[in-house]
Amino acid sequence: MKTTLKLSFLVLITILGISCNTKSQSQSEAIKVLTPTEFKEKSANQTIIDIRTPQEFNQGHIEGAININFYDSNFMDQIAKYDKNQPIFIYCRSGNRTSPASRKMADFGFTQINDLEGGILYWLKNNNETVK
C-alpha cells in the first residue's frame, strides 16, 4: 500500500513538472527581445503597442504605435482584440513593464511577441525618433 501511494505521488509530481516546463518553453519561444535596430526593422507595417500610461505616450512614442496602458484593469481585454498568431511589437519606458506583459500575452496564446530591449529610453539613446 505504501509503495502504491509513493508511486502515485511520484507520477503526479512528474506530470506537474513536465506541464510546467512545457509552458515556460512555449513562453520563451513566443517572446523575443529585440534591440532597437531589430525592432525598427522588423516592426515596419506591423502592430506596435506602447504599454505606457497615456501621459507617457503623449510625451513621445514610436510612430504608428497604439497606446494600451499596462496598468489599466482591462489591459488584456484590449490586447485580446489582436490576432494571436500575428507578430505584436510592444514597448514601455525602460523594459520593466514589457516582461510581465509579454508573459501575460504568451499565457493568453500570443505566439509572436517582440519586446523592445530597454524600452523607449534605449530607443532614443540609439538615435531613433519619436512623434507626439
- Spell out the residues 6+ positions from residue 66 whose beta carbon is closer than 8 angstroms to its own: 47, 48, 49, 50
Residue 24 has a pLDDT of 46
Residue 118 lies in a domain: yes
Residue 3 has a pLDDT of 66
The mean pLDDT values, 10 residues at a time, for the chain of 132 residues are 58 52 61 97 97 97 97 96 96 95 95 96 96 94
**pTM of the predicted protein model:** 0.79
Strand, helix or coil at 15? helix
Residue 1 lies in a domain: no
User: Which domain, by its residues, includes 105?
Assistant: 30-125
**Which CATH number is 45's domain given?**
3.40.250.10
Residue 5 has a pLDDT of 55
Half-sphere exposure of 78 (CA within 13 A, CB side): 14
CA 121, 111, 55: angle at the middle one, nearest 5?
A: 30
Residue 60 lies in a domain: yes
Cα 65 from chain centroid (whole Å): 15
Domain count, the chain: 1
Residue 107 has a pLDDT of 94
